[in-house]
């Protein structure tokens, strides 16, 4: 084979590469045209704000569920020499906690200390949300119980008809 033949093959291969690059560019343009509105929407400040708010809300809900789980099934050492746990409340400061909870969905208050007393917490709240965690081994579901300071619980029972204001 001569050098001229080799050069012709090289030019032909180069032309094929250029044609392929042109097709690649057309495909990339079509993809950008289709994905552009999606990318614009995802990068919009309102979309980013909704994503951040949802993430913070999910994190707060998880922390609340973990706090309720710890409150419903107390373990470990207590925070007082009297053997009682304490809870921090924005209204009442640090208070002794006497197993009082609130449903995060409907704001009804319950207690978990004495099943014969008024307002004993059912597994499912009257608003139909899973109030308490299910026993070990059953399918886990999110639950709505949150720790409630005892003075807030008493206030809700006496003044607010059993619901947190």
Q: How far is 56 from 154, CA to CA, in rounded Å?
A: 30
CA 101 to chain CA centroid, Å, is 20
Q: Determine the pLDDT at residue 84.
A: 66
Buried b (16+ CB within 10 A) or exposed e, 86-107: ebebeeeeebebbbbbbbbeeb
Q: Determine the pLDDT at residue 57.
A: 74
**Residues 6+ positions from 7 with CB-CB distance below 8 Å:** none
Cα distance from N-terminal residue to C-terminal residue, the chain: 93
Q: Which helix (H) or strand (E) holds 102?
A: strand 100-103
DSSP 121: P
Q: How far is 119 from 47, CA to CA, in rounded Å?
A: 42
Q: What ranges do the domains of the chain cover? A: 3-60, 76-158
**What is the mean pLDDT, run by run of 10 residues, along the chain of 165 residues?**
83 85 85 82 82 77 70 48 74 88 92 87 90 75 86 87 84
DSSP 136: T
Q: Determine the pLDDT at residue 127.
A: 92
Instruction: Tell me the residue length of the chain.
Output: 165
Q: Determine the pLDDT at residue 31.
A: 82
Q: Determine the pLDDT at residue 95.
A: 87
56: three-class secondary structure by DSSP = helix
Q: Which helix (H) or strand (E) holds 96?
A: strand 93-97
Q: Determine the pLDDT at residue 78.
A: 42
């Amino acid at each position: 084979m001569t050098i001229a033949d080799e050069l012709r093959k090289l030019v032909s291969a180069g032309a094929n590469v250029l044609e392929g690059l042109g097709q690649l560019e057309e495909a990339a343009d079509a993809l950008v045209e289709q994905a552009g509105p999606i990318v614009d929407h995802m990068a919009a400040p309102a979309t980013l704000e909704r994503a951040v708010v949802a993430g913070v809300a999910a994190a707060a809900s998880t922390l609340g569920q973990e706090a309720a789980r710890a409150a419903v099934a107390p373990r470990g050492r207590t925070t007082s020499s009297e053997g009682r746990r304490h809870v921090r409340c924005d209204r009442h400061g640090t208070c002794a906690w006497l197993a009082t909870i609130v449903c995060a969905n409907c704001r009804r208050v319950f207690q978990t200390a004495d099943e014969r007393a008024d307002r004993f917490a059912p597994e499912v709240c009257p608003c139909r949300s899973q109030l308490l965690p299910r026993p070990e081994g059953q399918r886990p579901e999110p639950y709505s119980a949150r720790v409630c300071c005892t003075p807030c619980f008493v206030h809700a029972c006496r003044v607010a008809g059993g619901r947190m204001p």
